[in-house]
Amino acid sequence: MHIPDGFLSPVVTLPAWAVATPLWWLSARRGLGGTPVESVPVVGSLTALAFVLQGIAIPVPGGTSVHLSGAALLAILYGPATAFACQSLVLLLQAVLLGAGGVTVLPVNAIALGLAGPGVAWLVHRALVRASGRAAAFAGAWAGTQAATLAVALVLGLQHRLAPSYMPVPFEVTVVAMMVPSLAVLGVVEGLYTVAALSILRRARLVDAR
């Protein structure tokens, strides 16, 4: 769901930088700084895997693409702050090394894919985990995917209203083009990935069996 450089004007990106900058500081301090030493290799490996997953992008009409994220898994295991910090690092490396997304739109992508999506995934998982761990993981990842996708679509829709010269595609087209594959396919695959990855990590005793 990366938004490329050039699709958002400074009217949108500058406030996003103002919001994201203190959030990055807090997430690095509380998320990465609060991660137990024994969990660092797992967090690093899951972040690297998220980098690979997000590099496989499928373009859709409306100025963006769809892809797996892997951020819901990080949020479920280590909390939204860690997920936001790791996802932001992934997005930065993709922008600098691969040209995916972009530097000017980095805070928008980070807030949508690294905060909104994983935050919803974490909340849904916590609400349902006592009933069924696997169902909670699947539902969390599915719901987080929808939240991230909708956040990106809303930003693009706002840009179209503010300055269509930057984003000529109307919100009605963008939201349908993004949400249909997200609801029907992407969220399901993200949920299955999250459940499978959790199962493997727990069997290997790399994370708590909770």
pLDDT of 89-107, one tens digit each? 999 998 988 887 889 999 9
Q: What is the pTM of this model?
A: 0.89
The residue that leads in pLDDT, 136 or 53, is 136
163: left (phi over 0), alpha (psi -120 to 50) or beta: beta
For the segment 11-61, what is each residue's pLDDT rounded down to a tens digit? 999 999 999 999 999 988 876 766 665 677 788 888 888 888 877 776 666
Q: Alpha helices, DSSP H only, in 39-186?
A: 40-54, 71-78, 80-93, 106-109, 117-128, 133-162, 171-181
The yes-or-no verdict on residue 199 having pLDDT over 60 is yes
Predicted confidence (pLDDT) per residue in 140-155, tens digit: 999 999 999 999 999 9
Cα separation of 144 and 149, whole Å?
A: 9
Neighbours of 137 (CB within 10 A): 28
DSSP string computed for 97-138:
II-SS-STTHHHHIIIIIIIHHHHHHHHHHHHTTT-HHHHHH
Q: Kindly report the average pLDDT of the chain as a whole number.
A: 87
pLDDT at position 54 is: 77
Q: Is the pLDDT score of 171 beyond 90?
A: yes
pLDDT tens readout for residues 101-124: 889 999 999 999 999 999 999 999
- What's the chain's Rg over C-alpha atoms? 16
